[in-house]
Amino acid sequence: MNVLLKNATIVDSTNKNLHLKKRDILVKNGVIDKIASKITPPNKTKIIDYKNLHVSLGWFDSSVSFGEPGYEERETIENGLKTAARSGFTDIVLNPNTNPVPDSSSDIVFLKNTAKYSVNNLHPLGTLTAKGEGKHLAEMFDMKNAGAVGFYDFKRSIENSNLLKIALQYAQNFDGLVHSFPMDTKIAGKGVVNEGEVSTKMGLKGIPVLAEELQIARDIFILEYTGGKLHIPTISTTNSVKLIADAKKKGLDVSCSVAIHNLFMIDASLEEYDTNCKVMPPLRTKKDIKALIKGVKEGVIDFVCSDHIPMNIEEKRVEFDNATDGSLGLETTFGILNQIFDLEKSIELLTRGRERYQLQTPVFKEGEIACLTLFNPEEEFTFTKEEIVSTSNNSMYLGKLIKGRVFGVICNNQILI
């Protein structure tokens, strides 16, 4: 496959010689063959010459759910990866949000094999506990050898403190990354939205910020005792940022992420009772958003993720209390991120994070394998159902202004535009 990108603006702050320069880029047989001011294309070369074409290293998302196996009506792996590629992501970490959950090496092999020939790369998480039930550790070592990049009972907190302690100690034997969802279920109770003025006004049970922060404080204390590697996914409160900042100052090996919607939308967005805005952790307040954005800028928060969770219509078109948590996020992550931060910061956030999962980071230079995302950062449009690539339609961003159009990706010696 030969592809020539014409007059593309390169966005790569790690490469001062090319950053924000316009260049022609020739990709031959999946490798960046030449980068120059002007390149005459060889025969049988696909030429991409789009208005305001920008190119960066391929984007990475640390929290994506599909449905297969078990929930194929939500999203298959094939269409989910196509959605990710159309959204600019060359690498995604797949959550164990399936039925059955992946808790053995054979489950990880199935996921890897199903995605083997895709234009982009799927990196599966295995569950931390058998069947994701929080009672006994799963086959972590075997799953790691089969290709699991970490261990996570998706959106389920590890209530048994001793189990988390043992997991962190055991995982050190093979450099495993343990995930712990930040939610004390006893404090959260039957809450469905952020506890505060909006929950009172709507007559819905609230989830206090204490539920998240208490769990994070506990997990950090355990990590300080055991050592090991801990990742806290999708934090959402002001004090959560402070707790993790303090832990990093102590030298603890802890990382965290924030979902893009928790940087963009507040709990007041729920006043229409739109179940597409029902997520976990819940949408919080302007104060929390301000603290989270500051945490991202200062590097306390390691990743901004889509937290993409497809849900079919039956799981959303019900009473708010009974609706399943989750929103689509892949298709809109760049367009929202590009409004919160400047272009350089947005691309930095989208291309960082692979090292935490022991994945190789691509390099933008001649002779290196091409792992590229193509986009126009200036195009603005209103997000509608026609823009959705996913099988499901549960997007909280419908009707929202999006800034930035993704053209597609070049990866694995394939192109999807």
Catalytic center residues: 307
Residue with tokens 């590229």: 372
The H or E element containing residue 169 is: helix 161-171
Given a contact cutoff of 8 angstroms between Cβ atoms, the answer to whether 84 and 94 are in contact is: no
User: How many residues belong to the chain?
Assistant: 417
Give the three-class secondary structure for 199.
helix
Q: Looking at this protein, which amino acid is placed at residue 272?
A: E
First to last CA, the chain: 14
Helix locations, 250-341, DSSP H: 286-297, 313-316, 333-340
**What CA–CA distance (Å, rounded) separates 108 from 103?**
8
Give residues with Cβ within 8 angstroms of 386, minimum separation 6: none
The H or E element containing residue 239 is: helix 238-249
Q: Residue 58's Cα: distance from chain center in Å? A: 14
Helix 286-297 vs helix 238-249: crossing angle, to nearest 10: 30
Burial track 5-23 (b if 16+ CB lie within 10 A, e otherwise): bbbbbbbbeeeeebeeeeb
Q: What strand order describes the sheet that includes 59-64? A: 59-64, 89-94, 121-124
Helix 77-86 vs helix 105-114: crossing angle, to nearest 10: 60
Tokens of residue 401, six digits? 């202004």
User: Could you tell me which residues are beta bridge partners of residue 376?
Assistant: 405
Tokens of residue 104, six digits? 């053995």
Torsion of Cα atoms, 8 then 12 then 16 then 21, to 10°: 10
User: Could you tell me which residues are beta bridge partners of residue 140?
Assistant: none
